[in-house]
């Protein structure tokens, strides 16, 4: 069964606004390629570098890249 809403200009705009509001661009960048201003300075609790994924690459989405995989 379908779990995601149909795409619309309004939902796309809402997603863009949410991306900015949650400051996703600080790590993932404006291009979504993982090149944000903080991407090279992120460290985990053990001081290991944290890899920021290129979320334009469908393989980077661990649950899948189809709308029903993403929207849950």
- The 10s digit of each residue's pLDDT in 21-55 is 999 999 999 999 999 999 999 999 999 999 999 99
User: What is the Cα–Cα distance from 35 to 40, expressed in whole angstroms?
Assistant: 8
Model pLDDT, residue 21: 98
Residues 6+ apart with CB under 8 A from 63: 69, 70, 72
User: Can you give the pTM of this predicted structure?
Assistant: 0.75
């Amino acid at each position: 069964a379908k779990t995601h809403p149909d795409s619309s200009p309004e939902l796309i705009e809402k997603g863009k606004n949410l991306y900015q509001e949650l400051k996703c661009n600080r790590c993932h960048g404006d291009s979504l390629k993982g090149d944000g201003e903080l991407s090279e300075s992120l460290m985990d609790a053990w001081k290991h570098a944290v890899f920021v994924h290129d979320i334009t690459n469908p393989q980077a989405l661990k649950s899948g890249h189809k709308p029903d995989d993403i929207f849950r």
